[in-house]
Amino acid sequence: MYGGRTSLLIGFAAALLTTLLATVLGLLAGYFRGWTDAVISRALDVVWAFPVTLLAIALGLALAVGGLSIGPLHLSGSSLWIPILIIGTVYVPYMARPIRGEVLSLREKEFVEAAEAQGAGPLRVMFGELLPNLWSTIIVFFTLGVANSMLLEAMLSFLGVGVQAPETSWGTMVGSGFQLITSAPQLSLIPGAMILLTVLSVNVFGDGLRDALDPHSKLRLEVHAGMPEPEGTAV
């Protein structure tokens, strides 16, 4: 249970960081377009070009050894913020690009043109008009991001570049118990099973939210339910 607290904390915090960064970048790129879109899209492509696992391992290894120093901010290699920042950053392109696509589509709608005609500035249009229409997508991505973040954290901690002592998580427990897998398999199997059940539960919850909040899926279901039976088909 103690390790689960750390795993859940990193999963939710990293998913929240990914959501915030991806939403802001997606709004800026989709609304302003032009050179703003080009710069943000190319920056996301750079992160996208690296496999998530390899990029996270490389960043985790570098930051676990030397920590992170940005001006007055200093994080030690054992800080929980290190895996949170790593996981929250590497998943940004996978969420920002779909949000950018939706913003590009919403940008041409009449309600945006009406808001601009009334004198609304870019910030008001982005956060007052476009953002409310993105909530269903953002919520679904957030829930699925929690599951992905927990899996990546478990993998990094298993390899020794995630959660550092004296903190512990399900991933570190699996890694520690792996040395005794023949004599005490429960040390790895129990935290591994908890990772499996938690990630599966969050994924099922995210799929349910997607079905509940996605109007297109509702429309497809209603159309399919209302289709008449073909003539000559036995019921």
The structure tokens listed for 97 are 């690009």
Per-residue pLDDT at 212: 77
Backbone angles phi, psi at 9, to 5 degrees: -60, -50
Inside any domain, residue 234 = no
The structure tokens listed for 207 are 């799929």
Q: How many domains does the chain have?
A: 1
Inside any domain, residue 206 = yes
Inside any domain, residue 231 = no
The per-residue pLDDT for range 14-65, each reduced to its tens digit, is 999 999 999 999 999 999 888 999 999 999 999 989 888 889 888 888 887 6
Inside any domain, residue 191 = yes
Inside any domain, residue 121 = yes
Residue 74 has pLDDT above 90, yes or no: no
The DSSP annotation for the chain comes to -HHHHHHHHHHHHHHHHHHHHHHHHHHHHHHH-HHHHHHHHHHHHHHHHS-HHHHHHHHHHHHHHH-EEETTEEE-TT-THHHHHHHHHHTHHHHHHHHHHHHHHHTTSHHHHHHHHTT--HHHIIIIIIGGGGHHHHHHHHHHHHHHHHHHHHHHHHHTSSS-TT---HHHHHHHHHTTTTT-THHHHHHHHHHHHHHHHHHHHHHHHHHHH-HHHHHHHHHHHHPPPPTT---
The structure tokens listed for 180 are 């005794």
Mean pLDDT of the chain: 83
CATH number at residue 26: 1.10.3720.10
Average pLDDT on 181-194 reads: 86
Q: Is the pTM higher than 0.85?
A: no
Inside any domain, residue 232 = no
Residue 235 has pLDDT above 60, yes or no: no
Bridge partner residues of 74 (DSSP): 69
Residue 96 has pLDDT above 60, yes or no: yes
Inside any domain, residue 233 = no
Inside any domain, residue 235 = no
If one compares 211 and 119, the residue with the highest pLDDT of the two is 119
Between CA 208 and CA 76 the distance in angstroms is 39
Provide the residue range defining the domain that includes 103: 2-226
Per-residue pLDDT at 13: 94
Between CA 56 and CA 89 the distance in angstroms is 9
Describe the crossing of helices 170-178 and 186-213 by its angle, rounded to 10 degrees: 150
